[in-house]
Chains A and B, each alone.
Chain A
């Protein structure tokens, strides 16, 4: 029993509630939100180190021992993601301060960001399947508000699509939960794992697992990503970056959790399906990324490709591949936030999202151009930037498991990522400048600083991967050996 485990969810939740009452004091809202997000980050670093000493931690709410009560469980995998969430959100908040505008700030923008974070962190930490559903809904409801806030026509129309598809996937989630409860009579994830191991994962349970696969693929954009590019290009830049960095990753996390802890017996069916879906996602995402001329669309399709790539690690299911996926997941949260911010900044500076209408931006904004260049290299997986290590490990895992086709598609997709971003780079940053010095929109310091911070982060994460290695190794070990998790939840001292 360790109360600290619940803090990454409680701190943002309380901050959000507090900020609702400070509606008109924008300065105080900003200060408080930065303070709160730093607190969350510090707490998660502390939990992460505690896990290395004491193993997987848990807290049973109300003292109800698992499997009867609801518990939060913190292993290295979830806390690494909680930490990355806090860091990414912190930097995005700095960008929001100078870009989101007074109207948003007065209409509860910051509170809803914090409710979103509470939902995201709750989803990462919960040890109960139904609680996962609830945390998903907390996150989704906040995202509904954030995507519609501002009320432009395109936002309203896109959000109808976004909300309908999410309501439908939440419905499937509940159906899956109902079937699972009817079949094995428990919803605690560790207990589910034990019971399914006892009765064996028969055809019925495999079908139920595919319902969960459907739910999480809809949320994370694995193959079922048709809603994603539209919804992610409608809202303001910061919100799009927040979605691109965090929301799909929660779906990916849930998929890893469910298919490594609970449904890992019939890998010939479920993991093969995940592999096929991941391959199709990468192919479809690559086609989308090079087909469009709208910066925001290209960037959104890059999210799709990354989802496919990360799930290659789950499809091959070796410990090395898990390590690769975890590295890549952390890298992707940071780099997608940066990519979305740069794309949004380009649209802000030029007033257009079409790449053929932009040109020569590097002359006016050299730093922005170089940051885009770093982002591009990092996404393509060039060492020493952060994308490299993840790709190496996923590749190594795929070779170990003998999935050469998946490996080939995964690495080919990197080339498409590179090509799609090179197209933006060459069209928008090179060439004759279209902006003359008179109507040069100044790039605000407040917008540039977060971009630089993300840039530094991707370099540090690439060079300093060694420092992260013990945590990632532990996370991958727990994923590969579910009994560590189960033991900590069901047998450990509360």
Chain B
């Protein structure tokens, strides 16, 4: 299995809710040190989501930077009615999707990425030892994005449809497609539940 920093638990200690609100308030007032603290606390979460959506480390790093650059200006929109991490995940998903749309034409041509390539991937030989993270990254882009937003981030298909400018039914269809591919790659037969 590929070794990367993600395999090591380097989780930053999340600030307490009180500290978090103080950091947000200070950052809103232009305190870059406070904002750096927020970055240190949440860069891992943001990057994880960016990486799952883009399936590319370089793009995920760029998208993470884009998220924190835009977040600096969006902090005043955080009302405090939901948890900061909930709001952060939603903002991250939207900014990353927008970033991917801008990059897609160039990136797809350069890397010659086609959905069909992913579908041709072979099944895993073992069903118990599965690296789901790696399999998710192999999914075709639309199926992957819908799967990440629904199965991992917990968005409803109606929300995903709005985020991706697609019909709710299309979101459900892409999710089904993702699951079917994962099922095959995880070594299950079509008839298995």
Do A and B interact?
no
